[in-house]
Chains A and B, each alone.
Chain A
Amino acid sequence: MKSPWIAGKAALWIICLAPAARLAWGALHPESNLLGVNPVQYLLWALGWWALLWLTATLALTPLKRLTGWAWLQRFQRPLGLFAFAYAALHLLTYALLDQAGAWGQIPGDLVKRPFIFVGMLALLILLALAITSTKGWQRRLKRHWKRLHRLIYLAALLAVLHFAWKEKVGWKEPRVLAFAAAVVLLLLARLPVIQKGGHLGQERG
Protein backbone atom coordinates (compact mmCIF):
# COMPACT_ATOMS: atom_id res chain seq x y z
CA MET A 1 0.00 0.00 0.00
CA LYS A 2 2.89 2.32 0.73
CA SER A 3 4.55 2.51 -2.69
CA PRO A 4 1.41 3.08 -4.81
CA TRP A 5 0.54 5.93 -2.47
CA ILE A 6 3.95 7.48 -3.00
CA ALA A 7 3.57 7.14 -6.77
CA GLY A 8 0.08 8.65 -6.58
CA LYS A 9 1.32 11.52 -4.47
CA ALA A 10 4.18 12.18 -6.89
CA ALA A 11 1.72 12.20 -9.80
CA LEU A 12 -0.50 14.67 -7.96
CA TRP A 13 2.43 17.00 -7.29
CA ILE A 14 3.52 16.91 -10.91
CA ILE A 15 0.00 17.58 -12.18
CA CYS A 16 -0.60 20.39 -9.72
CA LEU A 17 2.78 22.05 -10.22
CA ALA A 18 2.74 21.88 -14.03
CA PRO A 19 0.41 24.88 -14.60
CA ALA A 20 2.42 27.01 -12.17
CA ALA A 21 5.66 25.99 -13.88
CA ARG A 22 4.19 26.94 -17.25
CA LEU A 23 3.06 30.34 -15.95
CA ALA A 24 6.41 30.97 -14.28
CA TRP A 25 8.29 30.08 -17.46
CA GLY A 26 6.03 32.36 -19.49
CA ALA A 27 6.50 35.22 -17.03
CA LEU A 28 10.28 34.85 -17.20
CA HIS A 29 10.32 34.60 -21.00
CA PRO A 30 8.13 37.46 -22.25
CA GLU A 31 9.54 37.04 -25.77
CA SER A 32 7.82 33.66 -25.98
CA ASN A 33 4.43 35.42 -25.75
CA LEU A 34 3.17 32.35 -23.90
CA LEU A 35 1.04 34.51 -21.61
CA GLY A 36 -0.25 36.69 -24.45
CA VAL A 37 0.04 40.45 -24.82
CA ASN A 38 -1.47 41.23 -21.40
CA PRO A 39 0.59 38.83 -19.24
CA VAL A 40 -0.45 40.30 -15.89
CA GLN A 41 -4.13 39.88 -16.65
CA TYR A 42 -3.50 36.36 -17.97
CA LEU A 43 -1.48 35.39 -14.91
CA LEU A 44 -4.21 36.69 -12.63
CA TRP A 45 -6.91 34.89 -14.58
CA ALA A 46 -5.04 31.61 -14.91
CA LEU A 47 -4.03 31.40 -11.23
CA GLY A 48 -7.62 32.04 -10.19
CA TRP A 49 -8.89 29.48 -12.68
CA TRP A 50 -6.50 26.78 -11.44
CA ALA A 51 -7.23 27.58 -7.79
CA LEU A 52 -10.92 27.08 -8.49
CA LEU A 53 -10.20 23.85 -10.38
CA TRP A 54 -8.13 22.36 -7.52
CA LEU A 55 -10.79 23.46 -5.07
CA THR A 56 -13.51 21.76 -7.12
CA ALA A 57 -11.34 18.65 -7.45
CA THR A 58 -10.90 18.55 -3.66
CA LEU A 59 -14.66 18.64 -3.23
CA ALA A 60 -15.06 15.86 -5.78
CA LEU A 61 -12.87 13.40 -3.86
CA THR A 62 -15.41 12.29 -1.26
CA PRO A 63 -18.30 11.69 -3.70
CA LEU A 64 -15.85 9.95 -6.00
CA LYS A 65 -14.69 7.76 -3.14
CA ARG A 66 -18.27 6.80 -2.39
CA LEU A 67 -18.97 6.03 -6.02
CA THR A 68 -15.88 3.89 -6.59
CA GLY A 69 -15.19 2.55 -3.13
CA TRP A 70 -11.54 3.64 -3.43
CA ALA A 71 -10.72 4.68 0.09
CA TRP A 72 -7.25 5.95 -0.87
CA LEU A 73 -8.82 8.91 -2.74
CA GLN A 74 -9.33 10.46 0.69
CA ARG A 75 -5.60 10.90 1.09
CA PHE A 76 -5.43 13.36 -1.80
CA GLN A 77 -7.75 15.73 0.02
CA ARG A 78 -5.11 17.55 2.00
CA PRO A 79 -2.50 18.06 -0.75
CA LEU A 80 -5.16 19.07 -3.31
CA GLY A 81 -6.73 21.50 -0.87
CA LEU A 82 -3.33 22.97 -0.09
CA PHE A 83 -2.61 23.42 -3.80
CA ALA A 84 -5.95 25.22 -4.16
CA PHE A 85 -4.86 27.54 -1.35
CA ALA A 86 -1.39 28.05 -2.85
CA TYR A 87 -2.80 29.01 -6.28
CA ALA A 88 -5.35 31.32 -4.64
CA ALA A 89 -2.60 32.97 -2.59
CA LEU A 90 -0.49 33.50 -5.75
CA HIS A 91 -3.62 34.89 -7.40
CA LEU A 92 -3.93 37.44 -4.59
CA LEU A 93 -0.24 38.33 -4.78
CA THR A 94 -0.54 38.84 -8.55
CA TYR A 95 -3.48 41.16 -7.96
CA ALA A 96 -1.82 43.16 -5.21
CA LEU A 97 1.70 43.40 -6.60
CA LEU A 98 1.32 43.27 -10.39
CA ASP A 99 -2.26 43.97 -11.45
CA GLN A 100 -2.56 47.03 -9.23
CA ALA A 101 1.00 48.18 -9.95
CA GLY A 102 1.04 51.95 -9.99
CA ALA A 103 -2.41 52.14 -8.41
CA TRP A 104 -1.66 50.54 -5.05
CA GLY A 105 -3.45 53.34 -3.26
CA GLN A 106 -6.80 52.18 -4.58
CA ILE A 107 -6.55 48.64 -3.13
CA PRO A 108 -7.93 49.36 0.39
CA GLY A 109 -10.93 51.23 -1.03
CA ASP A 110 -11.58 48.48 -3.57
CA LEU A 111 -11.55 45.80 -0.86
CA VAL A 112 -14.62 47.29 0.77
CA LYS A 113 -16.23 48.92 -2.25
CA ARG A 114 -16.05 46.00 -4.68
CA PRO A 115 -18.13 43.00 -3.65
CA PHE A 116 -16.28 40.71 -6.07
CA ILE A 117 -12.94 41.49 -4.45
CA PHE A 118 -14.46 41.21 -0.97
CA VAL A 119 -15.93 37.73 -1.52
CA GLY A 120 -12.69 36.60 -3.15
CA MET A 121 -10.78 37.71 -0.07
CA LEU A 122 -13.27 35.97 2.18
CA ALA A 123 -12.82 32.72 0.23
CA LEU A 124 -9.05 33.04 0.53
CA LEU A 125 -9.24 33.71 4.29
CA ILE A 126 -11.29 30.54 4.72
CA LEU A 127 -8.74 28.58 2.71
CA LEU A 128 -5.97 30.08 4.82
CA ALA A 129 -7.66 28.94 8.03
CA LEU A 130 -8.18 25.47 6.59
CA ALA A 131 -4.57 25.30 5.38
CA ILE A 132 -3.23 26.23 8.80
CA THR A 133 -5.43 23.69 10.58
CA SER A 134 -4.87 20.94 8.02
CA THR A 135 -2.14 19.25 10.10
CA LYS A 136 -2.58 16.15 12.24
CA GLY A 137 -1.78 18.22 15.31
CA TRP A 138 -4.62 20.67 14.68
CA GLN A 139 -6.92 17.80 13.86
CA ARG A 140 -6.24 16.34 17.31
CA ARG A 141 -6.53 19.67 19.07
CA LEU A 142 -9.84 20.62 17.46
CA LYS A 143 -11.34 17.13 17.83
CA ARG A 144 -14.90 17.02 16.51
CA HIS A 145 -14.84 20.73 15.71
CA TRP A 146 -12.18 20.08 13.09
CA LYS A 147 -14.61 18.47 10.68
CA ARG A 148 -17.17 21.17 11.17
CA LEU A 149 -14.52 23.81 10.48
CA HIS A 150 -13.34 22.04 7.36
CA ARG A 151 -16.82 21.88 5.90
CA LEU A 152 -16.27 25.61 5.32
CA ILE A 153 -14.48 24.52 2.15
CA TYR A 154 -17.93 24.44 0.54
CA LEU A 155 -18.50 28.05 1.52
CA ALA A 156 -15.07 28.95 0.14
CA ALA A 157 -15.91 27.25 -3.16
CA LEU A 158 -19.25 29.02 -3.44
CA LEU A 159 -17.65 32.38 -2.67
CA ALA A 160 -14.90 31.67 -5.21
CA VAL A 161 -17.48 30.96 -7.91
CA LEU A 162 -19.33 34.15 -6.97
CA HIS A 163 -16.03 36.05 -7.17
CA PHE A 164 -15.43 34.63 -10.65
CA ALA A 165 -18.95 35.44 -11.88
CA TRP A 166 -18.95 39.01 -10.55
CA LYS A 167 -15.63 39.70 -12.19
CA GLU A 168 -16.79 38.65 -15.67
CA LYS A 169 -18.42 41.27 -17.86
CA VAL A 170 -21.37 38.98 -18.66
CA GLY A 171 -21.44 37.40 -15.20
CA TRP A 172 -23.26 34.10 -14.90
CA LYS A 173 -23.73 33.89 -18.66
CA GLU A 174 -19.99 33.33 -19.13
CA PRO A 175 -19.72 29.63 -20.04
CA ARG A 176 -16.66 29.02 -17.83
CA VAL A 177 -18.39 30.55 -14.83
CA LEU A 178 -21.46 28.44 -15.46
CA ALA A 179 -19.39 25.25 -15.65
CA PHE A 180 -17.74 25.88 -12.26
CA ALA A 181 -20.99 27.00 -10.65
CA ALA A 182 -22.74 23.83 -11.83
CA ALA A 183 -19.88 21.62 -10.62
CA VAL A 184 -19.70 23.17 -7.15
CA VAL A 185 -23.47 23.12 -6.64
CA LEU A 186 -23.64 19.52 -7.81
CA LEU A 187 -20.86 18.45 -5.47
CA LEU A 188 -22.52 20.27 -2.61
CA LEU A 189 -25.81 18.52 -3.33
CA ALA A 190 -23.99 15.19 -3.46
CA ARG A 191 -22.90 15.76 0.14
CA LEU A 192 -26.29 16.73 1.51
CA PRO A 193 -27.40 13.96 3.88
CA VAL A 194 -30.89 13.89 2.35
CA ILE A 195 -29.55 13.09 -1.06
CA GLN A 196 -26.91 10.65 0.08
CA LYS A 197 -28.02 7.09 0.12
CA GLY A 198 -27.83 6.02 3.73
CA GLY A 199 -26.73 9.49 4.76
CA HIS A 200 -23.53 8.46 6.52
CA LEU A 201 -21.68 11.74 6.75
CA GLY A 202 -20.07 10.54 9.95
CA GLN A 203 -17.89 7.86 8.44
CA GLU A 204 -15.01 10.13 7.44
CA ARG A 205 -11.92 10.50 9.50
CA GLY A 206 -11.68 13.18 12.14
Chain B
Amino acid sequence: MLLRKPADILGSEITPESAYLDRRSFMAAAGGLLAAASLPLRARGGQGAGANLGPIQKSPLSTLEPANTFQQVTTYNNYYEFGTGKDDPAREAWRLRTRPWEVKVTGLCAKPRTFGIEDLLKLAPLEERIYRMRCVEGWSMVIPWVGFPLKAVLDKVEPLGSARFAAFFSAARPEQMPGLRTPVLEWPYLEGLRLDEANHPLAILAVGLYGQILPNQNGAPIRLVTPWKYGFKGAKAIVEIRLVKDQPWTSWAKANPDEYGFYANVNPTHDHPRWSQKTERRIGELLRRPTQMFNGYGDQVAGLYRGLDLDTYF
Protein backbone atom coordinates (compact mmCIF):
# COMPACT_ATOMS: atom_id res chain seq x y z
CA MET B 1 0.00 0.00 0.00
CA LEU B 2 2.70 2.36 1.02
CA LEU B 3 4.53 1.79 -2.23
CA ARG B 4 1.55 1.54 -4.56
CA LYS B 5 -0.22 4.76 -3.83
CA PRO B 6 2.38 7.27 -5.02
CA ALA B 7 3.21 5.04 -7.97
CA ASP B 8 -0.38 5.35 -9.23
CA ILE B 9 -0.21 9.10 -9.01
CA LEU B 10 3.16 9.24 -10.72
CA GLY B 11 1.70 7.69 -13.82
CA SER B 12 -0.61 10.65 -14.43
CA GLU B 13 0.65 13.85 -15.92
CA ILE B 14 0.54 15.88 -12.71
CA THR B 15 4.07 14.81 -11.88
CA PRO B 16 6.58 17.15 -13.49
CA GLU B 17 9.12 15.66 -15.82
CA SER B 18 12.01 16.89 -13.71
CA ALA B 19 10.75 15.10 -10.65
CA TYR B 20 9.88 12.05 -12.76
CA LEU B 21 13.40 11.80 -14.14
CA ASP B 22 15.23 12.47 -10.94
CA ARG B 23 15.11 9.58 -8.54
CA ARG B 24 15.82 11.78 -5.55
CA SER B 25 13.03 14.19 -6.48
CA PHE B 26 10.74 11.26 -7.08
CA MET B 27 11.42 9.80 -3.67
CA ALA B 28 10.85 13.14 -1.99
CA ALA B 29 7.71 13.83 -4.00
CA ALA B 30 6.36 10.39 -3.20
CA GLY B 31 7.11 10.94 0.44
CA GLY B 32 5.52 14.35 0.28
CA LEU B 33 2.29 13.10 -1.27
CA LEU B 34 2.01 10.38 1.33
CA ALA B 35 2.69 12.90 4.03
CA ALA B 36 0.14 15.32 2.65
CA ALA B 37 -2.49 12.62 2.71
CA SER B 38 -1.84 11.26 6.15
CA LEU B 39 -0.11 13.78 8.39
CA PRO B 40 -1.49 16.76 10.28
CA LEU B 41 -0.40 20.32 9.50
CA ARG B 42 2.16 20.25 12.29
CA ALA B 43 4.17 17.44 10.80
CA ARG B 44 3.82 18.59 7.20
CA GLY B 45 5.52 21.95 7.46
CA GLY B 46 2.43 24.06 6.94
CA GLN B 47 -0.58 24.60 4.71
CA GLY B 48 -0.16 23.00 1.32
CA ALA B 49 3.40 21.85 2.00
CA GLY B 50 4.08 18.56 0.28
CA ALA B 51 1.50 19.20 -2.45
CA ASN B 52 2.74 19.09 -6.00
CA LEU B 53 3.41 22.32 -7.88
CA GLY B 54 2.52 21.28 -11.41
CA PRO B 55 4.77 21.60 -14.47
CA ILE B 56 8.32 22.65 -13.67
CA GLN B 57 11.03 23.45 -16.22
CA LYS B 58 14.65 22.54 -15.78
CA SER B 59 17.15 25.38 -15.84
CA PRO B 60 20.64 25.66 -17.30
CA LEU B 61 21.47 27.75 -14.22
CA SER B 62 21.16 24.68 -11.99
CA THR B 63 24.31 23.13 -10.58
CA LEU B 64 25.09 19.51 -11.44
CA GLU B 65 26.29 18.82 -7.91
CA PRO B 66 24.23 16.28 -5.95
CA ALA B 67 21.48 17.95 -3.95
CA ASN B 68 21.12 17.59 -0.21
CA THR B 69 18.24 15.38 0.91
CA PHE B 70 14.76 16.71 1.60
CA GLN B 71 15.29 15.86 5.25
CA GLN B 72 18.55 17.82 5.44
CA VAL B 73 17.04 20.86 3.75
CA THR B 74 13.92 20.87 5.95
CA THR B 75 15.34 20.10 9.42
CA TYR B 76 18.38 22.40 9.60
CA ASN B 77 17.21 25.98 9.20
CA ASN B 78 17.97 29.47 10.37
CA TYR B 79 14.64 31.24 10.71
CA TYR B 80 14.76 33.32 13.87
CA GLU B 81 11.05 34.20 13.75
CA PHE B 82 10.58 30.64 15.01
CA GLY B 83 13.56 30.50 17.38
CA THR B 84 17.35 30.61 17.19
CA GLY B 85 17.92 26.83 17.26
CA LYS B 86 18.51 25.04 13.94
CA ASP B 87 15.68 22.62 14.71
CA ASP B 88 13.23 25.27 15.95
CA PRO B 89 11.82 26.15 12.48
CA ALA B 90 11.04 22.52 11.63
CA ARG B 91 9.17 22.24 14.93
CA GLU B 92 7.43 25.61 15.07
CA ALA B 93 6.96 26.94 11.53
CA TRP B 94 3.75 24.99 10.84
CA ARG B 95 1.97 27.70 12.89
CA LEU B 96 2.33 30.23 10.08
CA ARG B 97 -0.83 30.52 7.94
CA THR B 98 0.39 30.81 4.37
CA ARG B 99 -3.03 30.89 2.68
CA PRO B 100 -4.45 33.35 1.84
CA TRP B 101 -1.27 35.36 1.24
CA GLU B 102 -0.58 38.66 -0.45
CA VAL B 103 2.64 40.33 -1.53
CA LYS B 104 2.53 44.09 -1.92
CA VAL B 105 4.94 45.49 -4.51
CA THR B 106 5.18 49.21 -3.90
CA GLY B 107 7.44 52.24 -3.85
CA LEU B 108 9.11 53.85 -6.83
CA CYS B 109 7.25 52.12 -9.64
CA ALA B 110 4.67 53.08 -12.26
CA LYS B 111 2.20 50.30 -11.44
CA PRO B 112 2.30 49.34 -7.76
CA ARG B 113 0.29 46.18 -7.19
CA THR B 114 -0.71 43.61 -4.63
CA PHE B 115 -0.31 40.04 -5.83
CA GLY B 116 -2.18 37.09 -4.38
CA ILE B 117 0.03 34.04 -3.93
CA GLU B 118 -2.01 32.22 -6.62
CA ASP B 119 -1.23 35.03 -9.11
CA LEU B 120 2.46 34.79 -8.27
CA LEU B 121 2.49 31.04 -8.90
CA LYS B 122 1.19 31.75 -12.42
CA LEU B 123 3.22 34.89 -13.10
CA ALA B 124 6.04 33.08 -14.90
CA PRO B 125 6.86 29.48 -15.79
CA LEU B 126 8.07 27.66 -12.68
CA GLU B 127 11.66 26.50 -12.91
CA GLU B 128 13.72 24.10 -10.87
CA ARG B 129 16.88 25.91 -9.76
CA ILE B 130 19.38 23.65 -8.03
CA TYR B 131 21.59 26.14 -6.21
CA ARG B 132 24.43 26.02 -3.74
CA MET B 133 23.57 27.78 -0.49
CA ARG B 134 26.38 29.03 1.74
CA CYS B 135 25.47 30.11 5.25
CA VAL B 136 27.49 32.86 6.91
CA GLU B 137 28.06 30.39 9.77
CA GLY B 138 30.33 28.21 7.63
CA TRP B 139 28.12 25.42 6.30
CA SER B 140 26.52 24.86 2.94
CA MET B 141 23.91 22.82 1.09
CA VAL B 142 22.76 22.18 -2.47
CA ILE B 143 19.03 22.89 -2.70
CA PRO B 144 16.59 22.16 -5.54
CA TRP B 145 14.37 25.23 -5.31
CA VAL B 146 11.34 25.80 -7.49
CA GLY B 147 10.66 29.39 -8.39
CA PHE B 148 10.82 32.10 -11.00
CA PRO B 149 13.07 35.10 -11.67
CA LEU B 150 12.52 38.02 -9.30
CA LYS B 151 12.73 40.21 -12.41
CA ALA B 152 9.38 38.82 -13.61
CA VAL B 153 7.61 40.49 -10.67
CA LEU B 154 9.60 43.72 -10.85
CA ASP B 155 8.86 44.09 -14.58
CA LYS B 156 5.11 43.90 -13.84
CA VAL B 157 5.23 47.02 -11.66
CA GLU B 158 7.59 48.98 -13.92
CA PRO B 159 10.25 50.43 -11.59
CA LEU B 160 10.96 54.15 -12.05
CA GLY B 161 14.42 55.45 -12.95
CA SER B 162 14.77 56.74 -9.40
CA ALA B 163 14.43 53.23 -7.92
CA ARG B 164 17.90 51.96 -7.04
CA PHE B 165 17.20 49.29 -4.42
CA ALA B 166 14.55 46.71 -3.62
CA ALA B 167 13.63 46.11 0.03
CA PHE B 168 12.07 42.81 1.10
CA PHE B 169 9.86 42.66 4.18
CA SER B 170 9.12 39.33 5.84
CA ALA B 171 5.94 38.55 7.74
CA ALA B 172 6.01 39.37 11.46
CA ARG B 173 3.04 37.76 13.18
CA PRO B 174 3.65 37.36 16.91
CA GLU B 175 0.70 35.00 17.35
CA GLN B 176 2.09 32.62 14.70
CA MET B 177 5.83 33.20 15.14
CA PRO B 178 7.00 32.40 18.69
CA GLY B 179 10.54 33.65 17.99
CA LEU B 180 9.31 37.23 17.70
CA ARG B 181 9.04 37.32 21.50
CA THR B 182 12.85 37.45 21.68
CA PRO B 183 14.34 40.68 20.35
CA VAL B 184 17.36 39.00 18.74
CA LEU B 185 16.78 41.01 15.55
CA GLU B 186 14.60 43.93 14.61
CA TRP B 187 11.28 42.69 13.27
CA PRO B 188 9.97 42.52 10.65
CA TYR B 189 13.00 40.92 9.03
CA LEU B 190 14.21 43.24 6.31
CA GLU B 191 16.53 42.41 3.43
CA GLY B 192 17.53 44.30 0.32
CA LEU B 193 19.22 44.15 -3.05
CA ARG B 194 20.55 46.70 -5.46
CA LEU B 195 18.11 46.86 -8.37
CA ASP B 196 20.63 45.41 -10.83
CA GLU B 197 21.22 42.50 -8.42
CA ALA B 198 17.47 42.01 -8.11
CA ASN B 199 17.14 41.88 -11.90
CA HIS B 200 19.94 39.34 -12.25
CA PRO B 201 18.73 36.04 -13.74
CA LEU B 202 20.14 34.06 -10.78
CA ALA B 203 17.94 35.95 -8.29
CA ILE B 204 14.68 34.09 -7.84
CA LEU B 205 11.58 34.06 -5.71
CA ALA B 206 11.21 30.47 -4.55
CA VAL B 207 7.80 28.93 -3.96
CA GLY B 208 8.80 25.28 -3.90
CA LEU B 209 11.37 22.72 -2.91
CA TYR B 210 11.92 19.30 -4.47
CA GLY B 211 8.98 19.84 -6.82
CA GLN B 212 6.55 20.49 -3.99
CA ILE B 213 5.06 23.53 -2.32
CA LEU B 214 7.67 25.11 -0.08
CA PRO B 215 7.58 23.86 3.55
CA ASN B 216 7.09 26.66 6.07
CA GLN B 217 10.50 26.22 7.68
CA ASN B 218 12.11 27.05 4.32
CA GLY B 219 10.22 30.32 3.92
CA ALA B 220 6.75 29.52 2.58
CA PRO B 221 4.86 30.71 0.79
CA ILE B 222 7.45 32.80 -1.06
CA ARG B 223 11.08 33.67 -0.34
CA LEU B 224 14.09 35.29 -1.94
CA VAL B 225 17.04 33.16 -3.13
CA THR B 226 20.33 34.79 -4.19
CA PRO B 227 22.84 31.94 -4.40
CA TRP B 228 25.99 34.09 -4.65
CA LYS B 229 25.20 35.75 -1.31
CA TYR B 230 25.17 34.36 2.22
CA GLY B 231 21.95 32.58 3.12
CA PHE B 232 20.62 35.29 5.42
CA LYS B 233 19.99 37.45 2.35
CA GLY B 234 17.12 35.14 1.45
CA ALA B 235 14.17 36.87 3.12
CA LYS B 236 11.45 34.34 3.93
CA ALA B 237 7.64 34.63 3.96
CA ILE B 238 7.78 37.89 2.01
CA VAL B 239 4.79 40.24 2.40
CA GLU B 240 6.16 43.34 0.71
CA ILE B 241 8.73 44.32 -1.88
CA ARG B 242 9.40 48.06 -1.85
CA LEU B 243 11.38 49.87 -4.54
CA VAL B 244 13.39 52.64 -2.94
CA LYS B 245 16.04 55.25 -3.69
CA ASP B 246 18.34 54.66 -0.70
CA GLN B 247 20.09 51.50 0.45
CA PRO B 248 17.81 49.70 2.94
CA TRP B 249 19.13 49.31 6.50
CA THR B 250 18.78 45.51 6.55
CA SER B 251 18.10 43.48 9.71
CA TRP B 252 21.49 41.81 10.08
CA ALA B 253 23.47 44.90 9.10
CA LYS B 254 21.51 46.80 11.73
CA ALA B 255 22.11 44.13 14.38
CA ASN B 256 25.88 44.25 13.81
CA PRO B 257 27.16 46.53 11.04
CA ASP B 258 30.80 45.38 11.45
CA GLU B 259 29.91 41.77 10.85
CA TYR B 260 27.06 41.70 8.36
CA GLY B 261 27.14 44.01 5.39
CA PHE B 262 24.43 45.02 2.96
CA TYR B 263 26.03 43.12 0.09
CA ALA B 264 26.76 39.88 1.96
CA ASN B 265 28.42 38.35 -1.09
CA VAL B 266 30.06 35.02 -0.34
CA ASN B 267 33.73 35.96 -0.07
CA PRO B 268 36.41 33.62 1.33
CA THR B 269 38.94 36.47 1.50
CA HIS B 270 36.82 38.63 3.75
CA ASP B 271 36.54 36.92 7.12
CA HIS B 272 33.71 37.41 9.52
CA PRO B 273 35.38 39.36 12.36
CA ARG B 274 34.85 36.41 14.68
CA TRP B 275 35.44 33.43 12.39
CA SER B 276 37.05 32.49 9.10
CA GLN B 277 35.06 32.30 5.87
CA LYS B 278 37.76 30.41 3.96
CA THR B 279 36.15 27.00 4.28
CA GLU B 280 32.73 25.47 4.71
CA ARG B 281 31.21 22.14 5.62
CA ARG B 282 28.76 20.81 3.06
CA ILE B 283 25.97 19.22 5.07
CA GLY B 284 26.46 15.46 4.85
CA GLU B 285 30.25 15.68 4.44
CA LEU B 286 33.00 15.44 7.03
CA LEU B 287 35.92 17.23 5.40
CA ARG B 288 35.65 20.98 5.01
CA ARG B 289 35.89 22.32 1.49
CA PRO B 290 37.26 25.67 0.37
CA THR B 291 34.63 28.38 -0.05
CA GLN B 292 34.48 29.83 -3.54
CA MET B 293 34.27 33.51 -4.41
CA PHE B 294 30.62 34.46 -4.97
CA ASN B 295 29.84 30.88 -3.93
CA GLY B 296 31.07 29.72 -7.33
CA TYR B 297 28.77 32.05 -9.29
CA GLY B 298 31.53 34.54 -10.11
CA ASP B 299 31.25 34.00 -13.88
CA GLN B 300 27.68 35.23 -13.77
CA VAL B 301 27.74 37.93 -11.09
CA ALA B 302 31.29 39.33 -10.79
CA GLY B 303 30.38 41.96 -13.40
CA LEU B 304 27.84 43.48 -11.01
CA TYR B 305 30.65 44.52 -8.70
CA ARG B 306 33.30 45.77 -11.09
CA GLY B 307 35.13 48.68 -9.47
CA LEU B 308 33.58 48.02 -6.06
CA ASP B 309 35.94 47.35 -3.13
CA LEU B 310 34.48 44.12 -1.80
CA ASP B 311 36.41 44.47 1.46
CA THR B 312 34.66 47.75 2.22
CA TYR B 313 31.32 46.78 0.74
CA PHE B 314 31.15 43.29 2.23
Give residues in A with beta carbon < 8 Å to B: 33, 36-38, 40-41, 98-103, 106, 109-110, 113-116, 166-171, 173-176
Set of chain A residues within 8 Å of B68, measured between Cβ atoms: 37
User: Which of B86, B136, B137, B274 sits near A166, CB closer than 8 Å?
Assistant: B274
Number of A-B contacts (CB under 8 A): 72
Q: Please tell me if the beta carbons of A101 and B288 are within 8 angstroms of each other in the complex.
A: yes
Q: Is B278 an interface residue (CB 8 A)?
A: yes
Check A40/B279 contact, CB under 8 A, given A100-B288, A166-B274: no
Chain A nearest CB: distance from B185 CB in Å?
7
Chain A nearest CB: distance from B252 CB in Å?
8
Check A103/B288 contact, CB under 8 A, given A36-B87, A38-B283, A115-B274: yes
Set of chain A residues within 8 Å of B287, measured between Cβ atoms: 101-102
Q: Please tell me if the beta carbons of A106 and B281 are within 8 angstroms of each other in the complex.
A: no
Q: Please tell me if the beta carbons of A175 and B274 are within 8 angstroms of each other in the complex.
A: no
**Can you pick out 13 interface pairs between chain A and chain B where the beta carbons lie within 8 Å of each other?**
A36-B75, A36-B86, A36-B87, A37-B284, A100-B288, A101-B288, A102-B289, A103-B279, A103-B288, A110-B276, A113-B276, A174-B84, A176-B84
Main secondary structure of the interface of B (DSSP, over half): loop
A37 to B182, CA, bound (A): 26
Give residues in B with beta carbon < 8 Å to A: 68-69, 71-72, 75-76, 80, 84, 86-87, 136-137, 139, 182-185, 255-256, 271, 274-276, 278-279, 281, 283-284, 286-289
A166 to B259, CA, bound (A): 12
Q: Nearest 10 CB-CB pairs, A to B?
A: A102-B287, A102-B288, A37-B72, A103-B288, A103-B279, A170-B184, A173-B184, A37-B76, A101-B287, A101-B286
Check A170/B185 contact, CB under 8 A, given A38-B76, A106-B279: yes
